[in-house]
Amino acid sequence: MEQHWLGILGNLYQEQARGEEAGRAYERALSIARKTGDRGAMGLWHNNLSLLAIERGQWDDAERHVEEAQQLLSHTTAEDAQLFPLVNAARIALWRGQNGAAKTLLDRVLSSAFQDPTPVLDARVIAAELGARTGDAAGAERHFRAALDLVESRRAGLRADSNKLSYLAGGIRFYRSYVSFLMR
């Protein structure tokens, strides 16, 4: 239970751009998961550490954590869990200018069945950024529109207004990317 709360704490720190504290919380959670032999949790914490490294521009660390997450999560039956490191691998490939590799990774995510829309939404935004970067404005727009449709369909399925509000708050990153694209 402690590792779960440490992960939530790390997420909160990360959202507040407090990377050092987020990293320490994720590392502590990872340490607990190692002691218990929980491969799924270890994969999750490595994935979170990879995203944190991406945000900091620490690309080699990010890649190392993605590889660890992929290896650990390859043994899980939860396909959604396997999608998160693929998205981060695509982020790294995009940053490194490896557009073909990024597209291949994104296609894998976008063609998968999913329960959690988060990795698919992130993949759509990255695919839109890739389209914008390579001069495919129509493709970028298609990905943003597909992401918007996904956000709206999921939101429409929520019953309580408080759930709708928190769901939309979580999608702020997507909306910012879309507005930035439209302004360009």
72-90 pLDDT, tens digit per residue, is 998 876 777 889 999 999 9
pTM: 0.84
Helix orientation angle between 161-170 and 172-183, rounded to the nearest 10 degrees: 50
Tokens of 109: 């995510």
Give backbone dihedrals phi and psi of 161, rounded to 5 degrees, phi first.
-60, -35
- Enter the tokens of residue 58: 């620490």
- 109 CB-contact burial (10 Å; exposed 0-12 / middle 13-18 / buried 19+): buried
Q: Using an 8 Å Cβ cutoff, are 89 and 105 in contact?
A: yes
* pLDDT tens, position by position, 11-54: 889 888 899 999 999 999 999 999 999 999 999 999 999 999 99
Count the alpha carbons within 13 Å of 88 in the hemisphere toward its beta carbon.
30
